[in-house]
Chain A
Amino acid sequence: MNPDVMFFFETVISGLMAGVMYALVALGFVLIFKASGVFNFAQGVLALFAALTLTGVMEKFGLPAWAGIIVTILVMIAVAWLVERLVLRHLVNQEPIILFMATIGLAYVIEGTGDILWGSNVKVLDIGLPQGASDYLLDSFNLYVEKLEIVAAVTAALLVAVLAVFFQKTRIGRALRAVADDHQAALSVGISLRTIWVVVWSVAGIVALVAGIMWGTKSGVQFSLSLIALKALPVLILGGFTSIPGAIVGGLIIGVGEKIAEIYAGPIIGGAIENWFAYMLALAFLLFRPQGLFGEKIIERV
């Protein structure tokens, strides 16, 4: 095949894979926003903290990967519980911006705690995920695709499937949807808002752990990991804050758009446009569809 076309395909595929990573972080945002209307700025730091904890417990106590992951999940549930207990419980009925600011504060707290506990140097995260290029695709199609990224894509797909079942079929999932629809109505039929918050923050914590593992394996566990949250934000506004499929599709669009723009438009206007291109893409899109791709159209009344 024509090498230019091949190159284009590779760009698209690597964009798709990067998009999956963004989508993983965006998913955590969506879960929390959907169930409580809180715009959780700490999601990126949560991913960093999960990855730090995982490497920390594996190094310090010499645990195998599976045990480390279980310990980290328990830690993330504890974090969720603490967040509900110490922060959210006291901020019921406050304006959204106050809650948003509280999660920025939370981001600082979690980051500081993570640094104090495990140190701020770059760590290698290895839980035995496959590394390097996929030989099969390289040999038969001459496509360069990293194995890790395939794993990430499969994991993300599984995660979304599990979440969909969880939301649609289980008792607690129904409660979550009820809370998302209307806090007060949910409370009045006996759903405990506090339990819901703990559950949803725990789930977001576990999603953050998955994101943290993928990113950490790819590029080491370090502070910059929390900055991918900033990449997940345009994904969110593109997909809509309340939509799980939106997070996935938005992630893929942003991932591909960003890579194509960087490679084909970057050299013309000066390069390193990846930082803002996603935002501009999302912004331009919003001008035509203010609620995002899959967001709910809110009808306002006076």
Chain B
Amino acid sequence: MLYRETGQFKTSYPKDQAIFPIAQDKAFILLVLAVAFLAVPPFINDYYAKAILIPFLSYTMAAIGLNILVGYCGQISLGTGGFMAVGAFATYKLMTSFPGLDFALIVILAGFVTAGVGALFGLPSLRIKGFYLAVATLAAQFFLVWLFNKVGWFYNYSPTGQITAPPATSFGVLVTGPEASPAAGYLFCLAFVCVFALVAKNLTRGNIGRQWMAIRDMDIAAELVGVQPLKAKLSAFAVSSFFIGMAGALYFGVWLGAAEPTEAFGINISFLVLFMIIIGGLGSILGSFLGAAFMVLLPIVLKTVMVDGMGLQAVTAKHFEILLLGVLIIFFLIVEPHGLARLWSTVKEKLRLWPFPY
């Protein structure tokens, strides 16, 4: 009763093709957006912004990007960390070369730079597929991180090899650097994630998204019905890297502020983002949000419970955390291989009939 399509008539094709054809969905999304944009910022403090919200938003951006490649186009990639590094270093170079540039523009430009690099590393996907490709993307991961470590030009020959985000503004508001207010950083990331989640949603609903999914489901059959594998695969790599590059920009610029390539963009990040989309749901934009939230909150909750609650030593707690993370991943894969997004749609199914299950 709470959630029903009955009585909501669609009288035109555009209405039928709307992103949220059901009124309750639309209302719910608007409510969430209103809370996120209006109700959260006044209560935000440094801890919430830097430990939960901004990491969640930048990982969401990365998860959307990887989901486009893995979930929609079926090309497994383990190079996320490397592409985030490209985004971050592009941001750094742009920020230091053009100090006056609006940070929003920098993030988008960093996305484009990463898209180019991503398409380049996507080229092997035309010849190889499956796990061979997954391992081949590791080449991108290791090579890019090595490159940013070795070539001084990328980190402006700073003696530590670190990159540090200088203060930058967007529409007159300071969003990066230590002086930026937590709310400003949060709102900046939120706006970016919302806009580009919408872009991703629409891309995946449209012609190009259908081509990706055709390639994912069976590439030879897709080719027979007229999808060009070259175009579809490379565009998936480019769009995916565009998002991951922007994620890297937010991750480095707004969240970390300073980064060292091996630490911040190692292979662990690649796995983390991959876990997010698996747990959240492959081939689902909503799943990218849910997965990122889950993976950001999990360590915090575990740490609170084990170290503060049960008084375990930090080292032991860390070991248990690794163990539990593994158990949770396996548990999720067994119980709900379609991820949290599927759970959400199950809830909606139930609500449609509630309170009369038959």
* Chain A residues close to B by CB (< 8 Å): 39, 86-87, 90-91, 94-98, 100-102, 104-113, 115-116, 120, 230, 233-234, 236-237, 241, 269-273, 275-276, 279-280, 282-283, 286-287, 290-292, 300-302
Contacts and interface: CB of A to CB of B under 8 A. Distances in A.
The 7 A-B pairs with the shortest beta carbon distances in the complex, nearest first, are: A112-B323, A108-B326, A105-B329, A279-B139, A109-B326, A276-B142, A112-B322
A241 B333 CA distance: 24
Contacts of B315: 120
Given A234-B135, A292-B132, A91 B221 contact: no
Contacts of A301: 220
Nearest to B221: A302
A99 to B, nearest CB: 8
Q: Which of B124, B138, B139 is the most central at the interface, judged by chain A CB atoms within 10 Å of its CB?
A: B139
5 contacts: A98-B333, A241-B132, A279-B142, A282-B135, A287-B127
A236 B138 CA distance: 13
Contacts of A273: 146
Nearest to B129: A290
B220 A105 contact: no
A132 B150 CA distance: 34
A162 B219 CA distance: 40
B132 A286 contact: yes
Given A102-B329, A108-B326, A283 B139 contact: yes
Contacts of A287: 124, 127-128
Contacts of A275: 142, 146
B139 A282 contact: yes
B324 A106 contact: no
Interface of B: 70, 76, 124, 127-128, 130-132, 134-136, 138-139, 142-143, 146, 149-151, 218, 220-221, 224, 267, 271, 274-275, 278, 282, 315-316, 319-330, 333-334, 337
Given A237-B136, A301-B220, 13 more contacts: A90-B334, A102-B329, A104-B275, A105-B333, A109-B326, A233-B135, A241-B131, A276-B139, A279-B135, A280-B143, A282-B135, A287-B124, A292-B132
Nearest to B144: A276
Given A97-B76, A237-B132, A272 B139 contact: no
Nearest to A279: B139
B276 to A, nearest CB: 11
B322 A111 contact: yes
B138 A230 contact: yes
Contacts of B146: 272-273, 275-276
B324 A270 contact: no
A225 to B, nearest CB: 16
A270 B321 CA distance: 37
A120 B274 CA distance: 26
A283 B131 contact: no
Contact of A290 (B132, B224, B275, B330): B132
Given A90-B334, A276-B142, A286-B136, A116 B319 contact: yes
A102 B333 contact: yes
A107 B334 contact: no
B208 to A, nearest CB: 22
Is chain B's interface secondary structure helix, strand, loop, or mixed overall? helix
A74 to B, nearest CB: 22
A95, A108, A301 — most chain B CB neighbours (10 Å) = A108
B329 A104 contact: yes
Nearest to B277: A101
Contact of B330 (A102, A112, A234, A241): A102
Nearest to B315: A120
A242 to B, nearest CB: 11
Contact of B127 (A102, A107, A116, A286): A286
Contacts of B323: 108-109, 111-113, 116
A105 B322 CA distance: 9
A108 B319 CA distance: 9
A107 B271 CA distance: 12
B142 A100 contact: no
B135 A112 contact: no
A105 B142 contact: no
A115 B318 CA distance: 10
A96 B133 CA distance: 13
A101 B334 contact: no
For B149, B220, B323, the residue with the greatest tally of chain A CB atoms inside 10 Å of its CB is B323
A237 B143 contact: no
Contact of B139 (A39, A106, A110, A280): A280
Contacts of B326: 105-112
B300 to A, nearest CB: 18
A110 B127 CA distance: 35
A116 B320 contact: yes
A102 B274 CA distance: 12
A107 B327 CA distance: 10
Nearest to B127: A290
A108 B151 CA distance: 33
B329 A108 contact: yes
B136 A283 contact: yes
Nearest to A103: B330
Nearest to B325: A108
Contacts of A97: 70, 76, 282
A110 B319 CA distance: 10
A233 B78 CA distance: 12
Given A90-B334, A290-B127, A233 B316 contact: no
Contacts of B327: 105, 109
Nearest to B222: A302
Nearest to A42: B326
Given A116-B316, A283-B136, A101 B322 contact: no
Contacts of A91: 333-334
A205 to B, nearest CB: 17
Given A108-B326, A279-B139, A87 B334 contact: yes
A164 B139 CA distance: 32
B32 to A, nearest CB: 29
Nearest to B271: A104
